[in-house]
């Protein structure tokens, strides 16, 4: 899916339609100090198997592509629900 670099859409903070810059969001590195990660490390250490079941069925053909829109006037960002697409490119 090809998205333009700038798109005109409604800005909730300006309360009018303005141009927004489109950015792809990259996934941050998961923290090792979160409770779920600490539990996972404790369970997988030693002579035990993997704590979660193997995924059943087929993989989905598309991934969710989270996009962030930044208003060019007030510089506030909004992130609507992500879209499903095999590949998302932002054109110049």
- Which tens digits make up the pLDDT trace of 32-55? 999 999 999 999 998 888 888 888
Q: Which tokens hold the place of 74?
A: 């007030």
What pTM did the predictor assign? 0.73
Walk along the chain (92 residues) in steps of 10 and give the mean pLDDT of each run: 94 96 92 94 89 84 93 95 92 84
**CATH class of the region 1-27+59-92:** alpha beta
Cβ(20)–Cβ(70) below 8 Å: yes
Domain ranges of the chain: 1-27+59-92
- Nearest one of 59, 77, 60 to 69, comparing CA atoms: 77
Distance from C-alpha of 83 to C-alpha of 65, rounded to nearest angstrom: 6
Q: Enumerate residues 6+ apart whose C-beta is below 8 A from 32.
A: 38, 41
């Amino acid at each position: 899916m090809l998205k333009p670099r700038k798109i005109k859409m409604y800005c909730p903070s300006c309360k009018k339609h303005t141009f927004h810059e489109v950015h792809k969001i990259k996934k941050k590195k998961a923290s090792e100090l979160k409770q779920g990660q600490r539990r996972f490390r404790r369970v997988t250490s030693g002579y035990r198997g993997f704590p979660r079941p193997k995924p059943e069925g087929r993989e989905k053909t598309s991934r969710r592509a989270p996009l962030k829109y930044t208003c060019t006037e007030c510089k506030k960002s909004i992130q609507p629900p992500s879209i499903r697409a095999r590949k998302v490119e932002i054109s110049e």
